[in-house]
Amino acid sequence: MRRFLIVLFLTIVVLVLFDFAYYRWGFYIPTSKDTVVISYTDKGNMLIKNKEDYDVIKVKGVNLGGFLPNNYVTDYAIDYDTYYRWLEDIYEMGANTIRLDTIFNDDFYDAFYDFNNNHDDKLYLIQGINIPTYALNSHIGGYDKDFYGELIKQAENAVDVVHGRKKLTLSNVGKGSYKNDVSSYVLGFIVGSEWMEDTIMYTNNKDKDKNTFKGEYISTTSEATSFEAMLAKVMNHLISYEVKKYHEQHSISFINSPETDPVAIIPKIVFSEELDNEFLEPSSLKYFYHKVVQLDLGHLKESGNYKGLFASYNVSSYYPNYLSYENKEYDDTYSSYIEQLVSHHSVPVLITEFAYSTSRGVSSLVDDKYGNFGGMNEVEQGNSLVRAYQSIINSNAAGGIIATWQDEWDKRSWNTIEKVDTGRTIYWSDTQTTNQGLGLLSFEPGKKKSVCYVDGDVSEWNDKDKVIDDDDLSLSMKQDEKYLYFYVKRKNNDNKPIYIPIDTTNKSGSKYADNFNLSFDRDVDFLIAIDGNNSEIFVQEYYNVLNAIDGYEVYNRNSYVNKPKKDSSLFTSINLLIEPYSTNMHSKNYMNATLVNTGKLKYGNANPDSANFNSQADYYELNGNIEIRIPWGILNFSDPSSLQIHDDYYENYGVENMSISKIYVGVGEDSVINLKPFKLSQYGEKASYHERLKKSYYIVQNNWRYNQ
């Protein structure tokens, strides 16, 4: 018995050691088997092996995110069934490629493997190699052990994962037991999901002597920078690791963007000894050329018999609009920009991200045929995606990848990030934030349907929703994870403007709205005015977040000097900052800030089942019934899930939060309006939601699947 227990114990130890060595430490014994080329590139084409030959793939792709409401991405909350269902939808849309910017949990690869085994037409994978955010942002040198070392580690992990031979536990880059080999469906690897410009610059200056590399598969040219040489080393290592361990070979690239591309004009930095490390731009260049460093895949070359380099760029039409300022006149700056990228490279160019947002908020204005970033309805989003993809193909790129498949509540935008609690955005949908509306799949509040649709059908309202019931007007209210809803019943349809005052905080507000000749029985922070084309929500001057925290960017002044009166009776428009106030250091010309009035209310039907559906609609009126929805962000909520709103800006010198449990609302047409309380519901970390394919999905489907 004792001998049996010893043998059993030793057997278990051997099995555990084998498991660690085989699946975790990456142990393998090199053999001399021939290498099978799974994917490669030829001139402008990307190719992948089929049973007998190779297929040219013109990429119609979708970036798949790891977000699910109520969860952080590193929770890996998306399960096998969800992934499989999404893959079916993506396939039915006509896509042929999925891009992951990092390693996902094993459920994705299992679903991906089973999906391709169950379908004759395959979905292909572009696997990203990323490093944890901490390493990306805290180690400024590309050759730092925790930067370069992490890239090497994640490159090996990615190879092992797609070959079904890895276990990752409690990792922020992948998690699970990867047992299914999906390598035959891998179109290529991409190193990085973004690069920090200061990291590139610091590496190029600190490690100037490390700007050359000669590898078995990838080498550098004489023009390479140190950061490019570091990327060449990582890419060469990945190829070598896969060839030696698995005897397979795939195409490879590193990520790039308009911020660091090699073709657009870049201001050369002129350092002044008198000014120490300060720099000046040459006077012949305009202020808007913000680029300070470049990356060029053309400084890398294939070694030996390897053929697999391709260039990757994240490019949306609203971003490289600086091209329109060049001396050359362009009808279509997006197409012209991609044509420059394609002509610059001798290898295929893949547009790895292009996107348009159905957010209500806007963060970029572009005067071209593709549209702004944000403020699009779902039909406009779909049409712009189709136009952009066609421009990508017409520019002879290897294809394009839509970013993203699903809306992601955890994403942030530069002009709203200071106004929300970034640690809790996963619990509510902030339609004011542009980066949350990029998906073709929306997460809508409510388990099966939303609590309210602004569509003129008032059957969803009942007596328990009533807050005010006067002789002439009644007001009812609801809330969900995205909006605060109002229903006004006009009992005598006189078509006068309707006013709804709202009091959210006792730290500000006014009993008077001089510009509307209205008065209230308590201090009011916001005022909704429903008046045809002039419908808008206004904010009391003191509680205007833009003026309080963006004084320099908007007016070139300190917000906390000559601040407005706490009880100011002026109600102002609610604006989003698009371009800050700026100057040209050489011409001394001033550029006023560009603002968008996000308080303007759009008329339309917001029911997705309606033939007249407009996802941007804010209010609808029918037979004296007015339904309105106001995003939480407009009302200065930093986190509606825990009922946190902005505290007094001037006491805190910025945005700090305070808790509330109710707000006060009123309704009237003129004169004095009395307010009554509306108790808010706090749902904490249990946001309810359901999935809905946007109208844009079907527009892309019509182009990609049915119009081939």
- The model's pLDDT over 440-496, given as tens digits with 9 standing for 90+, comes to 999 999 999 999 999 999 999 999 999 999 888 999 999 999 999 999 998 887 788
DSSP secondary structure string for all residues of 50-100:
-SSSEEEE-EEEEEPP---TTS-GGG----HHHHHHHHHHHHHHT--EEEE
- Spatial CA neighbour of 315 closest among 261, 377, 387, 386: 261
Q: Which domains does the chain carry?
A: 36-266+293-441+692-704 (3.20.20.80), 451-687 (no CATH)
Q: Which of 6-10, 307-311, 643-647 has the lowest mean pLDDT?
A: 6-10
DSSP secondary structure string for all residues of 97-147:
EEEESS--BHHHHHHHHHHHHT-SSPPEEEEEE---HHHHHH--STTSHHH
Running DSSP on this structure, what letter comes out for residue 21?
Answer: I
Using DSSP's 3-state secondary structure scheme, residue 554 falls into: helix
pLDDT score for 589: 52
pLDDT score for 554: 87
Running DSSP on this structure, what letter comes out for residue 436?
Answer: G
Q: What is the pLDDT of residues 382-425, one digit of tens each?
A: 999 999 999 999 999 999 999 999 999 999 999 999 999 999 99
Residue 31: pLDDT over 90: no
| Dihedral angle, C-alpha 417, 421, 422, 425, nearest 10 ° | -110
pLDDT score for 269: 41
pLDDT band at 30 (very low <50, low <70, confident <90, very high): low
pLDDT score for 139: 63
Give the Cα separation of 25 and 63 in Å (integer): 30
- Spatial CA neighbour of 137 closest among 194, 184, 178: 194
Kindly state the average pLDDT of the residues 194-212: 91
Q: What is the pLDDT of residues 601-643, one digit of tens each?
A: 999 999 999 999 999 999 999 988 999 999 999 999 999 999 9
Cα 101 to Cα 6, 175, 662, distances in angstroms: 47, 15, 42
pLDDT band at 708 (very low <50, low <70, confident <90, very high): low
Q: Which residue has better confidence, 369 or 75?
A: 75
Using DSSP's 3-state secondary structure scheme, residue 250 falls into: coil
pLDDT score for 336: 85
- Spatial CA neighbour of 643 closest among 655, 628, 658, 653: 658
pLDDT score for 22: 54
Residue 590: pLDDT over 80: no
Mean of all residue pLDDT scores within the chain: 89
Is 541:568 a contact under the CB 8 Å cutoff? yes
- Spatial CA neighbour of 544 closest among 578, 498, 575: 575
pLDDT score for 284: 36
pLDDT score for 707: 73
pLDDT band at 24 (very low <50, low <70, confident <90, very high): low
Residue 11: pLDDT over 80: no
pLDDT score for 8: 59
pLDDT score for 14: 53
Running DSSP on this structure, what letter comes out for residue 609?
Answer: T
Residue 702: pLDDT over 90: yes
Residue 261: pLDDT over 80: yes
- Structure tokens that stand for 46 in this block: 């990307």
Q: What is the pLDDT of residues 293-336, one digit of tens each?
A: 899 999 999 999 999 999 999 998 776 655 555 445 556 778 88
Is 403:440 a contact under the CB 8 Å cutoff? no
Kindly state the average pLDDT of the residues 139-167: 92
Q: What is the pLDDT of residues 488-524, one digit of tens each?
A: 998 887 788 999 999 999 999 999 999 999 999 999 9
Phi/psi of residue 189, nearest 5 degrees: -110, 145
